[in-house]
Structure 1
Amino acid sequence: MVEPTANQLQKNIDDTNDYPRENFLEAYKNRNRILFEVASACSKLVGIEKFELLVPGRETEEQVSVIKEESGVIKLRKARKHRREPNLVIPLIDPTSKRLGELHFYGVVNDRDRVFLNFFERWATACVYFSQLYRRHENANGHTVAPPTTPSPSPEDSEFIARQRRLNAFLLEVVRSLFHDIEKTQLLITKVLSFAQKLVDADRASLFFLDMRTNELYSRIFDNQGDDDPKVAIVEDGIKEIRFPTSRGIAGYVARTGEGVNIANAYEDARFNPEVDSQTGYHTTSVLCMPIFIRKTVMGVMQMVNKRNGGRFTAVDEEAFETFAVYCGLALHHAKLYDKIRRSEIKHRIAMEVLSYHGVCNQDEVNKLKKAVPQTESLRLMENFDFNGHALDHVEKPLYAVYMFDTLFRDKFKYARDDLIRFVLTVRKNYRVVPYHNWTHGWTVAHAIFVVLRKTNIFTPLESLALYVSCICHDLDHRGKNNAYMKTMSTPLAMIYSTSVMEHHHFNQTVTILQQEGHNILQSLSKEEYQECLGLIKHCILATDLALFFQNKAQLGSILKEGHFDWNEEQHRSLSKAVLMTTCDLIATAKPWPVQIETVSVIFQEFYDQGDAERKNGRTPMAMMDRDKANELPDLQVGFIQGICLQCFELIAKIIPETQILVDRSYQNLNRWKEMSEENKRKKEQEAIADGTENGV
């Protein structure tokens, strides 16, 4: 994915912070409005203009869409069917596990955006939950806050309302702080402690985290003396860490039981641990201590010490503090989560620096390729699907890949030829040495789209560019194992991507190479063109997942059957590009027989390697990946060509007649495989007869 720059991200955050907080404060009685305002803030943060909020409808409607008119009125309308699936769906679930709705975002969403949007989702659902509690309190007391005609609330209600207002204002401030100071966990903790003191009028505040491994509570910020400046800097170096087992002290008791406590005189309570006072030189009297939960598990304990008026903490303090602890848990959990993500990103960056050094072509390779000259006869033969890329050597493949790009786009886009050479050489370097899904296969698929684009004038220059880049990069860093294997073996890639595991990885590798210095062959495109091109590349690379082919085939086939196909329809063009990518990926089936037989040999070598790995892990491989069933190869090829290849080629030939030769050549190869299959059957029958004769049958 293309990560936003620091300036772009900061601008989005500033735009979000400028979002009128009155929109949130005034919306506490309207659940849908709260969710819509938060969704709007989300879209501003990540720069995605198109989003949709869906909430549960009436009995006859599963979901309805929430819209905001120009007048500001929130309304519901029947949810519309979109032509394309949303790029990201975020379910909205409140703290009681009640499903409030879904947020759909339509636009390029990178990994960092996903983190931010999930943060917002937690705050949105929490806001809804506590606004409902607030409304119940109003209804129970028979009044509301806003209308001036309502009876004056009781002093207790007034205190509750005032505290609730303070709490709401703080929660909005925490949301702002979460994005301003998300990389500064200690600063966020300081702000949380500062408000907690003011909320219950405590002299000091303590926050302890629970170490699940050692069953200990620890803190590096123990003594918070209520500095009015929430931006006070915290220096970690030199701060003594306080650590003690959960079996000791009031905080330990709360961590063990998950129950809050309110103590008027700490030294009269057997649970109190005076060692902390002795270490800090402070005398504790009253204590209010609450657990901080995340997913029903105690992650820490917050402790308020010494009510400033000299008394004990009240029941109102307990109620407000307990409510605050929920938000505190969210803030701290997300800050710690972001810290882990940030550290992972740093490690990833370091790893990428190391890999880029070894995984990027060097200048000697560039200079060598610049001196190479293509053969005239090869250039002539390359205009046809029959060309055999296997016959090209180590230098010729990248040389002709550059030639194909130049031929297609020299007069349509501006690019530095050295950048193009570096891009192609680095793409070559990032294909692994596996039997089939290697650089030769990537080159062959790129050649297939080259021939299609040379023989037709269907696609726009930008579409053609995306198709060529997608084809040459479509199997980058393939490990010689399919998606099913990745999922079954719970590989790291399968943990990141739930569908089209390898295809998502191939796309990310493509973007990574484009972002390398001196490799961006798309740099002359405008911002809008660049985003569109990346979207097309992603669509095309994901389409090479055969699991998606059957869905694409069914949709395109239905359109053709009804006679409604139109190249001017965006959906039809999108389906056509997807099926065309599958066509190019399967091009080996339509090559002359010597190339076909050679390619099938290396395909099954890779299949058998996967089968061996599966058997090593205690699993039984399917027939095509079981080298013990190599005699079934012709039968498997017959089924593959009939069940997938011909269906794909015949479909694409209906909309691109220039590809009809692929259908014809596939039938020729199919007949050869059928002959081999029949020959195998005859041999088996003869062997069976011979075995019977030997046994006297």
Structure 2
Amino acid sequence: MSAKKTSCIQRSDPGKVVDLIISLKDDACSELQTKINTYLSDECDAELVFSVVVNGERAEAYIEAVGKKALEKKYKLLDCHKFIKNIKKSYQQSMLFSDFYDDVQKIVSPYLKDSGKKHVTMVPVAGKPFALVVCLVSPKVQEEHVVNYVYECFLLCWPTVKKTIILEHEKSVKHKCQQLLRVAKRLFTQVASLDSLVRLATDQGKRVVDAEFCALMIVDLDRMELVETCYTKGTDETSERRFPMDSGIAGQVIQTGIIVNTRNAAQHPAYDPNVDSRPGIDIKNSLTFPIREQQGIIGVGLLINKIGDPYFDAMDEEMALSFSVYCGVCIIHSLVYKKIHEASIRNIRGHELNMYHIEVNDAEMSKVLECKGFHNIPGLSTLHFNTRGLPQRELPCLVVKMFSDLGFIRKFNLKQSKLVRFVLQVRKSYRDVPYHNWYHAVSVAQWGYAALMNFQLVKRGYFNDLQALMYLIACLVHDLDHRGTASSFQINGETALAALYSSEGSVMERHHLGQAVSILNTEGSDILEPLPRRDYDHALLLLRDFVLATDLNNYYKKLNEYKMIASDYLIGNQIHIAALQALLMNAADFSDQIKDWSSVKKTASEVLTEFFNQDESENDREDAPIFVDPKNKTVIPELEIKFITDTVIPIYEMLGQIFPVIASATQILESHLVLWDGSKDVFIEVSPIVAGISVLLSPELDGLIEAALNERERLRLEAEALAAEEAAAAAAAAAAAAAEED
């Protein structure tokens, strides 16, 4: 029989209801329920009243108050379908107390007067997400009146009770979230060790959801297995357990990516005791959840036996999934950290190996430190001096002399022994390639040294002392460990250097810079060590800017900007200073082009040897670009003419506008262009093209070029004479024709 719900009080005593409502304040929900239970017990003359709080959306229910007694905790009910059904039907229902669920009887029985047969009237109080089923044991008033008393009571009391239930739920969520954040903080402190991380995670996982046991199983894709690291309590000893990745509830979670909450684990169709349980544990309920990262599932978490409750509830599921996110992030960070750490170790070992190969022994140091040779070489500080004719054994001493002559040893308190070791290690770091070798480094450094002297860069305010020091160092190290190939070769070949630097651009230049910094950071050759920290950091930035400026791609991109700056250079303007640094660096790098013709030919042969070697290597690779047309026999002079015209001459023209002392360099370059153009008549007879390198070194080349130029001059003069004769004949014919007309 269903009682009609009312929207006003008809049977209840309004005064008692008002007193009840007034008493419902500043209490926990269980305390509110005891007051309502007492009121209903008195009004319905019932032996006992208790309420079941039901969350229909999550299929969960609990009891927290029986009669006048507020229980010490919320007792969750293992099965609550009858209560949910009662709420959905929305009418009262009567049944024997002995027909209630066992867990309900266990909770309520201690508060009954005796164990005889008792009828219970259940009255639903609807709500979302929480609802109540009010249970009255053995009420003596008519059932219809019982329902009226309950409805009229909760007509006014339910908003307060419901808000209190929601408030306590929100407080519980907040507490759990704070607990989870503390756990996450602890986890992130252990990413350096995967074993320590997993050990901490299993311990904290139990605490987050109050579980008896927690295990984390990581996916091993190579063997298609789940791996669990087991720890011996009180020791650091570990062991490993492996399971098939497609077995048990854990396997189902791997396949579906969906959390599985079992209230009776052994009855789950996918349950496998070897995977989903552990020795010595009497499994009752379990919560199995996926551990994810961006690429997918990387593991499975297993929680066994909820402590104090018959099952893991929906909040436990949410906490487990949130916990799994932090676990996934930490595990991935730990694996990445491990890889980075291993890479760092390999890098350190590689650095040690590299430093071993460029290690300088005491004998080598003594040769330079105790050198008594004559180093006052005439013309060393001029802009057109050729260092390639100097003995190799003298070059380290000359480099040290450059630092000394410029006052850097005194200004920056450079230790002589460190400077010598630095120079010798730089020498050993250059490979034995045709052009980009130690001789080239010294040649570039000499021009930088001469530029500082002749342009008076520091004295006239173009550079400060630190810029000048780093300019000279950059000249010396700008091609360290050059392999005789360009950045494009590294990128197209997908080499290790390209993998390291291609994302930043300037692959080879960044490699040279890295090698230089490595030497500068090595004990014994750390010549910048006396600098204050701020100056040291700025020095490395200057070194970076100088070295990266030698990438011609950067030069071509800014060529128009450089031309505008050079036409109206402003001392002290930071943009202009950066442009000047780049121009001076490239001028030093290409200074071999303004030397005497014999040196220019030798330089060209070395550069072209590297060029053709690279071209040959690229032809061996599929889809590699071919830079040299085998049918063009004048490619060597054409390459040189294009390089000088498009790249070198603009550099020295711009510098000439700022420093007139270097303006004569363009005249030298133009004279070289004439000779290169004259050599076309020689190279047209050479086959194959690579043989032209031998022609460059031939002592007969100059005579052949001179003869070709003389022949061109003769042909030009003959052409002019013939043109003059034809013009005179034409003029005479015109005059004769005019005379006949007269």
> Would you call these one fold, judging by a TM-score over 0.5?
yes
Q: Specify whether residues 278 and 261 from structure 1 end up closer, same or farther in structure 2 by C-alpha distance, changes over 3 A only.
A: closer
Out of 165, 177, 182, the position equivalent to 1:155 is 165
**Aligned twin of 1:318:** 317
The C-alpha deviation readout for 1:514-534, integer Å capped at 9, x for no partner, is 122211111211111111101
Q: Take 1:168 and 1:657, find their aligned partners in 2: how far apart are those partners?
A: 72
What secondary structure sits across from 2:299 in the alignment? Answer: strand
| Number of residue equivalences | 522
User: Is the 8 Å Cα contact of residues 207 and 221 (structure 1) preserved in structure 2?
Assistant: no
Report the Cα distance in structure 1 between the residues aligned to 2:209 and 2:517, rounded to whole angstroms: 52
C-alpha distance in 2 between matches for 1:241 and 1:385: 71
CA distance in 2, matches of 1:589, 1:453: 19
1:469-521 alpha-carbon deviations (Å, 9 max, x no partner): 11101111111111111111111111111211111111111111112221111
Residue aligning to 1:384: 382
**Which residue of the partner structure matches residue 36 of structure 1?**
none
Name the residue aligned to 1:77: none
Distance 1:152 1:452, change over 3 A: farther
Q: Give the match's secondary structure for 2:227.
A: strand
Partner of 1:449: 448
Match of 1:520 among 523, 526, 533: 526
Do structure 1's residue 673 and structure 2's residue 676 form an aligned pair? yes
Deviation for aligned residue 1:654:
2.1
Distance 1:234 1:671 in 2: 84
Which has the higher mean CA deviation after the structures are superposed, 154-163 or 405-414?
154-163
Q: Which amino acid aligns with 2:559?
A: K
Alpha-carbon distance in structure 2 between the residues aligned to 1:280 and 1:630: 83
Higher radius of gyration, 1 or 2: 2
Distance 1:175 1:594 in 2: 70
Residue pair 2:640, 2:676 contacting (<8 A) in 1 also: yes
Q: Secondary structure at the match of 1:578?
A: helix
Distance 1:671 1:335, change over 3 A: same
For residues 89-488 of structure 1, the aligned pairs below 5 Å read: 155-156=165-166, 158-160=168-170, 162-164=172-174, 166-167=176-177, 170-171=180-181, 174-175=184-185, 178=188, 180-221=189-230, 235=236, 238-276=237-275, 280-376=279-375, 378=377, 380-408=378-406, 409-455=408-454, 456-457=456-457, 458-488=462-492
In structure 1, how many angstroms separate the alpha carbons of the residues matched to 2:180 and 2:277?
33
Distance (Å, rounded) in 2 between the aligned partners of 1:462 and 1:171? 49
Are positions 1:555 and 2:561 aligned together?
yes
Q: 1:321 to 1:674 in 2, by over 3 A?
A: same
**Following the alignment from structure 1 to structure 2, what is the Cα–Cα distance between the partners of residues 664 and 540?**
27
Distance in 1 between residues matched to 2:411 and 2:555, nearest whole Å:
31
Asked if 1:654 is matched to 2:657, the reply is: yes
Please tell me whether the aligned partners of residues 414 and 527 of structure 2 are also in contact (alpha carbons under 8 angstroms): yes
Per the alignment, do residues 163 and 434 of structure 1 end up closer, same or farther by CA in structure 2, a change over 3 Å counting? farther
2:720 aligns to what?
A: none
Aligned residue identity for 2:506: S
1:632 maps to 2:635: yes
C-alpha separation between the residues in 2 aligned to 1:244 and 1:495? 37
CA distances 1:549-607 after superposition (whole Å, capped 9, x unpaired): 1233233323445x4x3221122212211222122112122221111110110101011
Percent of aligned positions with the same letter in both sequences? 30
Alpha-carbon distance change, 319 to 441 in structure 1, aligned in 2, over 3 angstroms = same
Give the partner amino acid of 1:540: F
Q: 1:468 to 1:560 in 2, by over 3 A?
A: closer
The one-letter amino acid of 1:404's match is M
1:553–1:579 contact (8 Å) kept in structure 2: no
Following the alignment from structure 2 to structure 1, what is the Cα–Cα distance between the partners of residues 642 and 510? Answer: 28
Q: After TM superposition, give the deviation of residue 309 of structure 1 in Å.
A: 2.0
Amino acid in the other structure paired with 1:344: A
- Alignment TM-score, normalising by the size of structure 1: 0.70
Instruction: Verify the 8 A CA contact 2:409 2:416 in the aligned structure 1.
Output: no
Q: 1:403 deviation in Å? A: 1.0
Structure 1 residues 558 and 190, CA, compared in 2 at 3 Å: closer, same or farther? farther
The SS at the match of 1:298 is strand
In 2, the alpha carbon distance for the partners of 1:616 and 1:280 equals: 62
1:555, 1:151 → 2: CA distance? 76
- 1:203 is matched by which residue type in structure 2? E
Q: Distance in 1 between matches of 2:513 and 2:616?
A: 28
Contact 1:623/1:629 (8 A) holds in 2 = no
3-state SS, counterpart of residue 214 of structure 2: strand
**CA distance 1:647–1:169, shift in 2 (3 Å):** farther
One-letter amino acid matched to 1:612: E
* Structure-to-structure mapping, 1:528-539, within 5 angstroms: 528-539=534-545
Distance 2:669 2:171 in 1: 77
| 1:151 Cα deviation from its structure 2 partner | 13
**Cα offset, 1:190, TM superposition:** 3.0
Q: Which amino acid aligns with 2:544?
A: K
- What secondary structure is seen at the aligned counterpart in 2 of 1:247? coil
Residue 725 of structure 2 is matched in structure 1 by: none
Matched, 1:592 2:590: no
The farther-off stretch of 470-479 and 643-652 is: 643-652
1:596 and 1:152 map into 2 onto residues whose CA distance is 94
In structure 2, relative to structure 1, the CA distance for the partners of 1:393 and 1:376 (3 Å cut) is closer
Q: 2:607 is matched with which residue?
A: 603
C-alpha contact 1:611 1:622 (8 A) present in aligned 2? yes
Kindly provide the CA deviation profile for residues 75-120 of structure 1, in whole angstroms up to 9, marking residues without a partner as x. Answer: xxxxxxxxxxxxxxxxxxxxxxxxxxxxxxxxxxxxxxxxxxxxxx
Cα offset, 1:278, TM superposition: 7.6
Separation (CA, whole Å) in 1 of partners of 2:262 and 2:225: 22
Match of 1:206, SS?
A: strand
Residue pair 2:250, 2:276 contacting (<8 A) in 1 also: no
Per-residue CA deviations over 1:245-289 (Å, capped at 9, x if unaligned) read 212122222223322211122211232221257863323221211
1:120 maps to none
State the partner residue of 1:90: none
| Whole-angstrom distance in 2 between the partners of 1:292 and 1:657 | 70
Instruction: Compute the RMSD of aligned alpha carbons.
Output: 2.8
Measured after TM superposition, the shift of residue 440 of structure 1 is 1.2
Once the 2 structures are TM-superposed, how far is the Cα of residue 332 of structure 1 from its aligned partner? 1.4
Deviation, structure 1 residue 160: 4.6
Amino acid at match of 1:424: V
Give, in whole Å, the separation in 2 of the partners of 1:344 and 1:655.
47
Q: Provide TM-score, normalisation by structure 2.
A: 0.66
Inter-CA distance 591–546: structure 2 relative to 1 (3 Å threshold): same
Amino acid aligned to 2:358: G
Shift in CA distance, 681/350, structure 1 to aligned 2, threshold 3 Å = closer
Deviation track 1:193-252 (CA, whole Å, cap 9, x = no partner) reads 3332222221111111111111111021478x9xxxxxxx972xx411011121212222
Q: Distance in 2 between matches of 1:168 and 1:400?
A: 68
Distance 1:637 1:162, change over 3 A: farther
| 3-state DSSP of counterpart to 1:240 | strand
Aligned residues of 2:248 and 2:275 also touching (Cα < 8 A)? no
CA contact (8 A) 2:520 2:526 kept: yes
AA in 2 matched with 1:608: F
Partner of 2:23: none
Residue 630 of structure 1: how far off its partner (Å):
6.1
* Equivalent residues of 1:222, 1:242 under 8 A apart: no
Q: How far has the Cα of 1:431 moved from its partner?
A: 0.8
Tell me if the contact between 1:263 and 1:288 (Cα under 8 Å) persists in the aligned partners: yes
Paired residue type of 2:638: D
Does 2:579 correspond to 1:575?
yes
The runs of 5 or more residues in structure 2 that have no matched partner are 1-128, 131-159, 688-742
